[in-house]
Amino acid sequence: MITLKESPIRQSVNGRSNHWVELITQMADQFSACEQESDQSDAFVTANYALLKKHGFFAALVPAEFGGGDATFDEMSDILRVLAQVSSSTALALSMHQHLVAANVFKHKKGQDVRRFLQNVADQQPVLISTGARDWLESNGTMTLTEGGYLFSAVKQFASQSADGGIAVTSAPYEDENGDWHVLHFAVPLVSEGVSLIENWEALGMRGTGSHAIKFENVFVPDKAIALSRPRGAYHGVWNVVLTVAMPLIMSVYVGIAQKAAQIAIDHVRQFATPKPHQVTAVGALNNELSIAEMTLRDMLRINNNFDFTPTDACGHQILTRKSIIADSVIKVVNQAMDIVGGQAFYRSHPLEKHLRDVQGARYHPIYEADQHLFSGNYLLRQ
């Protein structure tokens, strides 16, 4: 068994701190213990979610006027990034909830009436599940017209937190009477008749996120539940909102993993009275790569500007570009950390082995780098 001195939590990229981050550092040992157990068993980080709920984290982004924690968007980025250093699965799962809350905070700040939603999040702290990874431009499933609404059937993969979820925010394609295809967006409580969980989350990394598939079988969706109808297969302006609130929070998690891995590698080299020149050089190279990830995350936050942004196609293009850059950099950072530490990092008992597995998830969030290149290329050639 390899034993290491615990590396310190890196609290902020830019000197900020907040009481939410202080709470995480106080509970770090509890978060970490649950994470390690979940990584071994593929079980959801249930105990960590109970701690988060006890301290109001699920309502942290909700404005104070609704009884929420009134955290800024930048503060939520720090919360997720620091949490990822002690429990990456908890942080990633929480980011999925938070970006759905964030989208509604943005709507509120733009004058849309989402008071009922935000009040419910503040009062009840329901776990909100996004099926967005399967719902990009085409979506999947079927919507059959029935009296008062639709019957919805689908299997939605990668539904993080579904092991402990309350409400799924999802979508499905629908062909209207004219033969035109649309994608309808709506929310479904997981207690609804016809909803079941397919417990298939056995993954390389992020094993504690409870990202099982959700099966919807002829679930009734009332007309009033339809929040958006968009043309199927085409890029819609709604993504400029979703991407600008979701990707900075999700990628904050992976920057946190990279920061922790870098600190472990630096601490490893520091134990030598006279490190080898190639070790010192490798630490310098690791610093450069980590700086790329940190600076790019800061630029994502600049674009969001604490919800004060205009959701243009430029936003979508810029955010997706930066998502690809961060994903590439954080994976390189952890690879470099592995090289610096050497063979002992290959043991499952060494923390870098888990970081190496978990950080791979960065590439799989929408959209893949090749798809982003196509998306951005098309955008730039239109300008």
DSSP assignments along 153-212, one per residue: EEEE---TTGGG-SEEEEEEEEE-TTS-EEEEEEEEETTSTTEEEE-----SS-GGG---
Pairs from 49-58 (Cβ < 8 Å, separation ≥ 24): 49/90, 49/93, 49/127, 49/161, 49/164, 51/27, 52/90, 52/94, 53/125, 55/23, 56/125, 57/20, 57/94, 58/94, 58/97, 58/101, 58/121, 58/125, 58/126, 58/127
Residues 163 and 80 both lie in one domain: no
pLDDT at 91: 98
Please check whether residue 241 is in contact with residue 312, taking contact to mean a CB–CB distance below 8 angstroms. no
216 domain-assigned = yes
Residues 224 and 246 both lie in one domain: no
CATH number of residue 108's parent domain: 1.10.540.10
Domains contained in the chain, number = 3
pLDDT band at 71 (very low <50, low <70, confident <90, very high): very high
Q: Is the pLDDT of residue 12 over 60?
A: no
Residues 158 and 280 both lie in one domain: no
pLDDT at 133: 66
Residues 365 and 248 both lie in one domain: yes
Residues 139 and 244 both lie in one domain: no
11 domain-assigned = no
Please check whether residue 278 is in contact with residue 284, taking contact to mean a CB–CB distance below 8 angstroms. no
Q: Is the pLDDT of residue 15 over 50?
A: no
Q: Is the pLDDT of residue 65 over 80?
A: yes
Task: Choose one of 212, 231, 250: the last residue of a domain.
Answer: 231
Strand segments, DSSP code E, in the chain are 128-130, 142-146, 149-156, 167-175, 181-189, 195-198, 213-222, 228-231
- Over residues 216-253, the pLDDT tens digits come to 999 999 999 999 999 999 999 999 999 999 999 999 99
Residues 256 and 368 both lie in one domain: yes
CATH number of residue 317's parent domain: 1.20.140.10
166 domain-assigned = yes
Mean pLDDT of the chain: 94
Q: Give residue 279's domain range.
A: 238-382
Percent of the chain with pLDDT over 90: 93
Collapsing DSSP to helix, strand or coil, 343 comes out as helix
Q: Is 126 buried (19+), middle (13-18) or exposed (0-12) by CB count in 10 A?
A: middle
CA 382 – CA 374 distance, rounded (Å): 12
Residues 242 and 370 both lie in one domain: yes
Structural tokens at position 329: 């950099």
Asked whether the whole model's pTM tops 0.75, one would answer: yes
Structural tokens at position 63: 């404005």
5 domain-assigned = no
Residues 372 and 256 both lie in one domain: yes
